[in-house]
Amino acid sequence: MPYRQTASTRKNAENKRDGLLRAARSLVASGGFAAATVAAVATRGQVSVGSVYSYFDSRDGLLAEVFRSAAGHEIDVVRAAVTGTDRPATDRLAALIRTFGGRALQGRRMAWALLFEPVNPAVEVERLTYRRFYTDLGEEIIRAGLADGDFVPQDARLAASAVMGAVSEALIGWLRPDSPEPAPGTLDEIERFCFRALGVPVHDREETP
Amino acid sequence: MPYRQTASTRKNAENKRDGLLRAARSLVASGGFAAATVAAVATRGQVSVGSVYSYFDSRDGLLAEVFRSAAGHEIDVVRAAVTGTDRPATDRLAALIRTFGGRALQGRRMAWALLFEPVNPAVEVERLTYRRFYTDLGEEIIRAGLADGDFVPQDARLAASAVMGAVSEALIGWLRPDSPEPAPGTLDEIERFCFRALGVPVHDREETP
Amino acid sequence: MPYRQTASTRKNAENKRDGLLRAARSLVASGGFAAATVAAVATRGQVSVGSVYSYFDSRDGLLAEVFRSAAGHEIDVVRAAVTGTDRPATDRLAALIRTFGGRALQGRRMAWALLFEPVNPAVEVERLTYRRFYTDLGEEIIRAGLADGDFVPQDARLAASAVMGAVSEALIGWLRPDSPEPAPGTLDEIERFCFRALGVPVHDREETP
Amino acid sequence: MPYRQTASTRKNAENKRDGLLRAARSLVASGGFAAATVAAVATRGQVSVGSVYSYFDSRDGLLAEVFRSAAGHEIDVVRAAVTGTDRPATDRLAALIRTFGGRALQGRRMAWALLFEPVNPAVEVERLTYRRFYTDLGEEIIRAGLADGDFVPQDARLAASAVMGAVSEALIGWLRPDSPEPAPGTLDEIERFCFRALGVPVHDREETP
DNA sequence: CATGAATGAGGGTTCATTCAT
DNA sequence: AATGAATGAACCCTCATTCAT
């Protein structure tokens, strides 16, 4: 009875592969891509170094996939949150800011790794796509808002870029192993900042720190 | 004689040290901290590898000092530009944005290295100070502006952070070896973005893209 | 029933084994022994890596057997071509040269692998036998020719060795992935070279390059 | 007093480099290029692994240099032995055969490595040059001899190739760790073989084995 | 028996750091 | 005090071999 690629073996292989991806991902989440050495991934994935190479062509490839996977997930969540071109642009932009920012807040190291940590050319290519997604999305929403008169006239693309920068800087720019959690309400405040920047009248906050 | 000799010796030593710092700095400016290997620094500083260790405890220490030096220079320039608590806050904030942004534009790699490139814990400590300077300065100005009614009520510290993020993201967030120069006028547009965010009425731009 | 089953099982086992040998052989023929990794052999033989070890003790053993098999085939062909102790020695030697050379020309990589490529001690032992076959055969023929006065007096064994060397060097000594086919007529020319070396009067070639 | 590249330091560096080359060469001489791992070279050269990379770009480069050096020496010796276009071609060819063959006899493993052992593309390029030297030289001599009527008409290049093959096969074709030295007189016999092949009347040997 | 995932020794390479001169 | 050769730990990657299923 010859060996057959049964559902269970394939499932298992994918599990292992996923296990390694998870292992790598968790290492990236806690120490950035730099912490995801092949040996570390293997150890955490409870396999040998050689096994890593059964599932991935190279460390660079593995990291690129980790990036794609993590970034893809982020993108999915954000896309879902801002979906619906019939919604008011302000609504959608708020969703973009809060979703992007909220996710960065939980998983700040990962957010930092995805946005900033230098890794290798393959990952840089992925990063380009990842960053472009946010900027394109932001630009599209802002453009829609501009058309509806929600925002004051401005360069939509640059505004999108600036919005992402404001959010990410405020949330993960100060990332340190022991840096404290941003205060609750930070997200609200950033949202207001961005809306003002776009020219949307923002009602006063209740309490002034 | 012994005194003179000591003096000249010390002078010489400081020259060498400075030379190494300059060498390292120029390497960082063109290739980031990663390019500043000990060997590269020694070569460019026209001393031996071993000599580097006469002047610096370790590569980490050297890089930390390079960071301090480069960052200190940036800080000096920016501080000079925004100095004068009697000036209107809007004036000073504009100076902060334009100086910080303008300097980042020339020397984007260095700006990126100072703001984002991961190096080592010692440098991360320095970076904290560096980033804090901008945020503190921005906060102070914004606070002053708030007191004067120049800006709408908001969290001054967070606004400062967001401003820096908006500027740096728009200017160097997309930095890549071959990434194109930002369009002229980008700085103006970012300034307007930030002023709107702070609640300052901004006159329309002449041309709407 | 048990007998039949055993027979069929054994038949099957031998088929598998042969399949693996053929797979390995074809890999050697195109890329030398170095190309015959266990994984490559298994893939080409359409079995699992582990199965290879059901039929062979080790890669070294498998390669040794491949060598034996390929070399044995060469030997059979050459032996058939030179058979008949009643034939004139010149005839038989010509057959040896042309058969050995002709086969080397088609299948130069394999010929090179058999004659020259370093593999492992087990294969070196086989190679000894292989090379000895040619030398023994050549020696025997030359000795017969000497007895008949066909060749001028000389050390038969060394002459046999030299003949093989002349032929193989001229045909596959320059083997490289992109080396061109030897010109037609090369075999004729080598044959004349060898016959002259043995002291046989050789009629002039028609065309002198 | 700054460090200066004195004669002694350079001498020392060259000594070390040479020491490594000698270490590698001796490894090649006893075990072929395969035995010259970086670690083995370092150990035998009594330096650390890292030091090897102070003197050589890569293992491939080191081996290529070992090849060049060893082959170059061979070439020098042979060239010196056959020099003088005014000498009779028979003389020069005898010198070629005896020098090439004599050197192969002492240092058979090295001769084999230079002529046959696969290493890496860089070395293959060198090997091409090395082999071409012998063939070109042989061809030139034979061509001269043909012009003088010393040899019977034939393809000079192929004859040169065949001569080298005959010599190398007879001397190192049987190379094994424990293979016995060829009998004394072997060189004489090969020379006679080659001369006969070229069509030169050869006087009988005194004793027929 | 067959399978192929898993193993890990072994190989090449880099670079911060040390230390004899 | 200056030098830079030397060091070796750490990294990535390959592939023959094993063994649980």
Chain B 51-110 contacts with nucleic strand F (CB below 7 A): 51, 53-54
Half-sphere exposure (Cβ direction) of D85: Cα atoms closer than 13 Å: 5
Q: In angstroms, rounded to a whole number, what is the distance separating the alpha carbons of residues C133 and C90? A: 18
Residue B52 and residue B80 share a domain: no
Question: Could you identify the residue written with the tokens 């490529």?
Answer: C117
Q: Could you say which residues 49-68 of protein chain C have a Cβ atom less than 7 A away from any atom in strand E?
A: 49-51, 53-54
Cβ contact D82:D137 at 8 Å: yes
What count of other Cβ atoms lies within 10 Å of the Cβ of residue A195?
Answer: 21
Cα–Cα distances (Å) from D29 to A13, B32, D34, D78, in that order, read 47, 46, 11, 19
Going by C-alpha positions, the residue among C202, C167, B94, C175 that lies closest to residue D115 is C175
- Is B167 found in the same domain as B105? yes
Candidates B162, B192, B202; nearest CB to A169: B162
**Cα(B46)–Cα(B154) distance, integer angstroms:** 52
Strand E nucleotides within a 7 Å radius of protein CB atoms: 1-20
Assign residue A80 the CATH number of its domain.
1.10.357.10
Does residue A133 sit within a domain? yes
C-D C-beta contacts closer than 8 Å = 116
Is D73 a domain residue? Answer: yes
Using alpha carbons, list the distances in angstroms from residue C116 to A34, A77, C72, D116: 46, 62, 16, 7
Contact residues, chain B, for A152 at CB < 8 Å: 196, 202, 204
User: Same structural domain for residues B121 and B179?
Assistant: yes
Look at A134-138, B147-151, B203-207 and tell me which has the smallest mean pLDDT: B203-207
Work out how many domains chain C is built from and give that number. 2
Residue stretches of chain A with pLDDT short of 50: 1-4, 207-209
Q: Running DSSP on this structure, what letter comes out for residue B151?
A: S
State which H helix or E strand residue B5 sits in. Answer: helix B2-31
Instruction: Mark whether C130 and C73 lie in a shared domain.
Output: yes
- H or E stretch at C63: helix C59-82
Mean pLDDT calculated for residue range C31-45 = 94
The rounded distance, in Å, linking the Cα atoms of C79 and C76 is 5
Task: Look at the block and give the residue holding tokens 């708030």.
Answer: B146
* Phi/psi at B200 (5° precision): -90, 130
Opening angle at CA B88, ends B82 and B92, nearest 5? 20
Same domain, B118 and B206: yes
Residue C1 has pLDDT above 70, yes or no: no
State the average pLDDT over residues D178-202.
86
Any idea of the CA torsion for D48, D49, D52, D54, to the nearest 10 degrees? -80
Select from B56, B75, B101 the last residue of a domain: B56
Structure tokens at D32: 């072929």
* C174 band by pLDDT with thresholds 50, 70 and 90: confident
CB B62 within 8 A of CB B24: yes
Mean pLDDT of D30-44: 95
B198 and B145: one domain?
yes
User: How does residue B173 score in pLDDT terms, banded at 50, 70 and 90?
Assistant: confident
Mean of the per-residue pLDDT values for chain B? 89
Q: Are residues C209 and D32, on separate chains, in Cβ contact within 8 Å?
A: no
- Tokens standing for B151? 């800006």
Return the sign of the alpha-carbon dihedral for residues A135, A139, A141, A145.
Answer: positive
| D170 in reach of chain C (CB within 8 A) | yes
Token digits for B182?
A: 């930002």
Cα gap D108→D102, rounded to integer Å: 10
- Dihedral of the alpha carbons of B84, B86, B92, B93, in degrees to the nearest 10: 130
SS3 content of chain B, % helix, strand, coil (to 5): 75, 0, 25
- Identify whether D137 is part of a domain: yes
Burial class (CB in 10 A: 0-12, 13-18, 19+), C204: exposed
Determine the pLDDT at residue D207.
Answer: 47
Nucleotide nearest to D45 (CA to C1'): F6
Residues 6+ apart with CB under 8 A from A155: B189, B209
Contacts 24+ apart (CB under 8 A), C182-187: C182/C105, C186/D158, C187/C97, C187/C98, C187/C101, C187/C102, C187/C105
Q: With an 8 Å Cβ cutoff, are B186 and A158 in contact? A: yes
pLDDT-based confidence at residue B15 (cuts at 50, 70, 90): confident
Residue A200 in tokens: 């949307």
- Give the CA-to-C1' distance from A47 to E9 in angstroms: 16
C43 CB closer than 7 A to any strand E atom: no
Give the amino acid at B108.
R
**pLDDT for D194 beyond 70:** yes
Q: How confident is the model at residue B180 (pLDDT cuts 50, 70, 90)?
A: confident
Q: Which of D32, D170, D202 sits opposite C165 (nearest CB)?
A: D170
pLDDT of B204 higher than 70: no
Same domain as C49, residue C68:
no
- How far is residue A202's CA from residue C67's CA, in Å, rounded to a whole number? 84
CB A112 within 8 A of CB A172: yes
- The reply to whether D182 falls in a domain is yes
What was the pLDDT predicted at D176? 67
Largest CA distance in chain A: 75
Question: Which residues lie below 8 Å from residue A24, measured CB to CB, with a gap of 6+?
Answer: A36, A41, A44, A45, A62, A63, A66
Q: What is the pLDDT of residue D46?
A: 92
Question: Does the residue C205 lie in any domain?
Answer: no
Q: How confident is the model at residue B1 (pLDDT cuts 50, 70, 90)?
A: very low
* Option in C153, C165, C209 nearest D168 (CB): C165
**DSSP labels, B190-201:** HHHHHHHHHT--
pLDDT confidence tier of residue C14, bands split at 50, 70 and 90: confident
* Angular region, A32: left φ>0, alpha ψ -120 to 50, beta rest: left
Residues D142, D72, single domain; the answer is yes
Mean pLDDT of chain D: 89
pLDDT at A208: 45
**Could D189 and C163 be called an inter-chain contact, meaning their C-beta atoms sit closer than 8 Å?**
no
Q: Shortest CA–C1' contact from A53: which nucleotide?
A: F13
Q: For chain D, how far is it from start to end, CA to CA, in angstroms?
A: 74
Maximum CA extent, chain D: 75
Report d(CA D39, CA B142) in Å as an integer. Answer: 63
B171 and B85 in a common domain: yes
Q: Is residue A177 domain-shared with residue A111, that is, in the same domain?
A: yes
What is the token pair recorded at B143?
């606070």
Q: How many CA atoms does the CB half-sphere of B23 hold within 13 Å?
A: 22
B157: distance to nearest CA of chain A, Å? 9
What percentage of residues in chain C have a pLDDT greater than 90? 76
Same domain, C80 and C171: yes
Is B186 an 8 Å CB contact of chain A?
Answer: yes
* Average pLDDT estimate for C149-156: 94
User: For the domain that residue C16 is a member of, what is the CATH number?
Assistant: 1.10.10
CB D139 within 8 Å of CB D164: no
Inter-chain contact A165–B168, Cβ cutoff 8 Å?
yes
Residue B68: which domain range? 60-209
Question: CA D189: distance to chain centroid?
Answer: 21
Distance C172 CA to E9 C1' (A): 36
Answer with the one of A56, A78, A94 that is the final residue of a domain: A56
Tell me, yes or no, whether C75 lies in a domain: yes
Q: Is residue C207 part of a domain?
A: no
Q: Is A77 on the interface with B (CB under 8 A)?
A: no
- Six token digits for residue D202: 């050869």
Going by C-beta distance under 8 Å and a sequence separation of 6 or more, which residues neighbour residue D139?
D156, D157, D159, D160
pLDDT score at C78: 96
pLDDT of A14: 75
- Asked if D116's CB is within 8 angstroms of C159's CB, the reply is no
How open is the CA angle B26-B31-B35, to the nearest 5 degrees? 90
CB D29 within 8 A of CB D107: yes
Please check whether residues C80 and C142 belong to one and the same domain: yes
**D 31-90 residues, CB < 7 A, strand F:** 46-51, 53-55
| pLDDT class of C141 with cuts at 50, 70, 90 | very high
Whether D61 is covered by a domain: the verdict is no
Dist. CA A102–CA B153, nearest whole Å: 23
